[in-house]
């Protein structure tokens, strides 16, 4: 028997159900990755993520070679060409079955359906990206949960009842192979600040659990601290699995936390958010199609403020915490979660700009860009998403800065023009700058927050009038 494993966003050999099952019955195994540069551009993914993908593919290539499994990279432009190229590869190389882990976006699901309809051999697809499989958690009426808290309860009950399954690396299937270096073509931005490969991800995970898991609840909201795991680039490309995260929590705490207040629970809860958004993406295909989760919010009258969008994108809004966050994103391809919430709220509720423009900008810059979490985060912030909070929750960018970057350490790191500003005025530095730094160049606030907030609330109130 000859089995082909098709790697996608699951670039790991450990806890990889498709790889494990393909190798389980002593079959000969080969692997393939299909690069689709046109699709990458069409989905608006970033050049830094492409670089990270390429470097991780090379590490995977080496690991598979150690297991006696050759990896081939095929290149076509878009998903539309994938069924034909796979069918031809399977036939030419006489494979008996195709193995893959599921991907969740609508384009990926349509591609996989077309592949299944085209192939003459069985196509076996597994859940490799969630602890609890998509579609398995439903309300009493059989629907997907639309709010996080009951979903999380149900998710925890499932984990308690069934546990999680952590698959080992398959045993070597033959002598180690030599492997040629491989790399993806196209424009790339260096991702070297992030070590590539499963071993690097595992090390980061262990270190985070040892040093920060217990304090995560206290530190996670402060961007100047190293209080979160920074594992998102690895989880987004499947270099690390959520089961491995659970195993690391268990190894550190000797048991999994199941309720609020237990050590480690706050971090586990973030992993549940990750799964919530993934389950939503499967249950509501419109989320992959730039549509609002709450259909009535499609009628919101967003502003076409291109100048405001440019100022936001470039970190020139005159609100220091927003500007520092946006410049950090531009320079590093990553942003802290608290800051993602602040800047997303600012774009949608202070500038009244459509969340889709922010979502796309994030995707084009983030190293961890990932449709489910990015769309979920943006719609949560914009008030169009699966969120129990009232629409009149509008973050105040100044008080958010005061609460979460009280000394201004994060702001000064990213806004050199504010380096000399004293802490007492760092969140509203304009008068001080005018008096002390002639020609400082830092912009005045581009909107008045109080007025902008009222306008945002009026936008949502107008929806009620339409009912």
Q: Rule CB under 6 A: say whether 232 interacts with ligand FAD.
A: yes
Residue 432 annotated in active site: no
Q: Which of 406, 414, 411, 356 is nearest to 381 (CA)?
A: 356
Binding residue for ligand FAD, selected from 45, 56, 101, 228, defined by CB under 6 A: 228
Q: Rule CB under 6 A: say whether 337 interacts with ligand FAD.
A: yes
- Per-residue H/E/C for 155-209: HHHHHHHHCCCCCCCCCCCCCCCCCCCCCCCCCCCCCCCCCCCHHHHHHHHHHHH
Residue 337 annotated in active site: yes
Binding residue for ligand FAD, selected from 311, 344, 351, 446, defined by CB under 6 A: 344
Q: Which of the stretches 50-58, 85-93, 104-112, 223-231 binds ligand FAD when contact is defined by CB under 6 A? A: 223-231
Question: Token digits for 23?
Answer: 């190798």
Name the DSSP class of 303.
B
Q: Is 229 annotated as a binding residue?
A: yes
Q: Is 140 annotated as a binding residue?
A: no
Angle in degrees, 0-180, between the axes of helices 337-345 and 355-365, rounded to the nearest 10: 140
Q: CB nearest ligand FAD: which residue? A: 377
- Mark 246-285 with x for binding to ligand FAD (rule: CB under 6 A) and - for no binding: ------------------------xx-xx--x--------
- The string of DSSP letters for 231-300 reads -HHHHHTTSS-HHHHHHHHHHHHSS---STTSTTHHHHHHHHHHHHHHHHHHH-GGGGGT--SSGGGGG-
- The string of DSSP letters for 396-441 reads -HHHHHHHHSTT-HHHHHH-GGGTT--GGGTTS-HHHHHHHSTT--
Residue 273 annotated in active site: yes
* CA dist list (Å): 281 to 39, 289, 375: 19, 10, 9
Residue closer to ligand FAD by CB (options 260, 464) is: 260
Q: Is 391 annotated as a binding residue?
A: no
Do 288 and 452 touch, CB atoms closer than 8 A?
Answer: no
Q: Is 30 annotated as a binding residue?
A: no
Q: Determine the Cα–Cα distance for residues 379 and 375; give it in Å rounded to an integer.
A: 6
Q: Rule CB under 6 A: say whether 347 interacts with ligand FAD.
A: no
Do 30 and 93 touch, CB atoms closer than 8 A?
Answer: yes
Q: Which of the stretches 124-132, 231-239, 282-290, 412-420 binds ligand FAD when contact is defined by CB under 6 A? A: 231-239
- Mark 356-375 with x for binding to ligand FAD (rule: CB under 6 A) and - for no binding: ------x---x-xxx--xx-
Q: Rule CB under 6 A: say whether 404 interacts with ligand FAD.
A: no
Kindly state the smallest distance separating residue 345's Cβ from ligand FAD, in Å: 9
Q: Is 234 annotated as a binding residue?
A: no
Q: Rule CB under 6 A: say whether 220 interacts with ligand FAD.
A: yes
Residue 414 annotated in active site: no
Binding residue numbers for FAD: 216, 228-232, 267, 270-277
* Residue numbers at the binding site for ligand FAD (CB under 6 A): 220, 228-232, 235-236, 270-271, 273-274, 277, 336-337, 340-341, 344, 362, 366, 368-370, 373-374, 376-378, 381
Catalytic residues, by residue number, are 270, 273, 302, 337, 355, 378
């Amino acid at each position: 028997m000859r089995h082909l494993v098709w790697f996608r966003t699951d670039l790991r050999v450990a806890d990889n159900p498709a790889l494990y099952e393909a190798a389980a019955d002593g079959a000969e195994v080969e692997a393939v990755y299909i690069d689709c540069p046109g699709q990458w551009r069409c989905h608006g993914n970033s050049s830094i993520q492409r670089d990270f993908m390429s470097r991780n593919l090379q590490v995977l290539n080496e690991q598979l070679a150690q297991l006696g499994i050759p990896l081939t990279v095929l290149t076509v432009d878009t998903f539309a060409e994938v069924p034909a190229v796979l069918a031809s590869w399977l036939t030419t190389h006489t494979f008996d079955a195709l193995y893959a882990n599921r991907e969740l976006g609508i384009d990926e699901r349509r591609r996989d359906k077309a592949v299944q309809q085209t192939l003459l051999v069985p196509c076996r697809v597994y859940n490799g990206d969630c602890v609890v499989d998509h579609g398995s958690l439903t309300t009493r009426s059989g629907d997907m949960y639309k709010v996080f808290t009951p979903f999380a309860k149900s998710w925890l009950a499932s984990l308690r009842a069934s546990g999680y399954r952590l698959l080992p690396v398959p045993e070597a299937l033959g002598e180690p192979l030599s492997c040629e270096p491989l790399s993806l073509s196209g424009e790339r931005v260096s991702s070297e600040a992030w070590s590539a490969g499963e071993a690097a991800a595992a090390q980061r995970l262990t270190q985070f659990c040892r040093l920060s898991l217990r304090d995560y609840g206290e530190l996670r909201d402060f961007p100047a601290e190293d209080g979160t795991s920074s594992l998102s680039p690895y989880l987004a490309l499947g270099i690390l699995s959520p089961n491995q995260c659970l195993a690391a929590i268990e190894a550190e705490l000797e048991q999994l936390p199941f309720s609020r207040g237990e050590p480690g629970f706050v971090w586990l809860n973030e992993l549940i958010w990750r799964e919530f958004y993934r389950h939503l993406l499967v249950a509501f295909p419109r989320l992959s199609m730039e549509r609002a989760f709450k259909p009535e919010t499609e009628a919101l009258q967003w502003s076409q403020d291109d100048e405001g969008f440019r100022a936001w994108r470039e970190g020139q809004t005159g609100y220091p915490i927003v500007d520092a966050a946006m410049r950090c994103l531009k320079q590093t391809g990553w942003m802290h979660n608290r800051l993602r919430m602040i800047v997303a709220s600012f774009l949608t509720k202070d500038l009244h700009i459509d969340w889709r423009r922010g979502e796309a900008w994030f995707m084009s810059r983030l190293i961890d860009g990932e449709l489910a979490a990015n769309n979920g985060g943006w719609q949560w912030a914009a008030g169009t998403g699966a969120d129990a909070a009232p629409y009149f929750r509008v973050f105040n960018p100044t008080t958010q800065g005061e609460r979460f970057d009280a000394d201004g350490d994060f702001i000064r790191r990213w806004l050199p023009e504010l380096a000399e500003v004293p802490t007492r005025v760092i969140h509203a530095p304009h008068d001080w700058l005018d008096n002390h730094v002639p020609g400082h160049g830092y912009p005045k606030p581009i909107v008045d927050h109080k007025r902008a907030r009222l306008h945002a609330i009026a936008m949502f109130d107008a929806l009620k009038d339409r009912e």
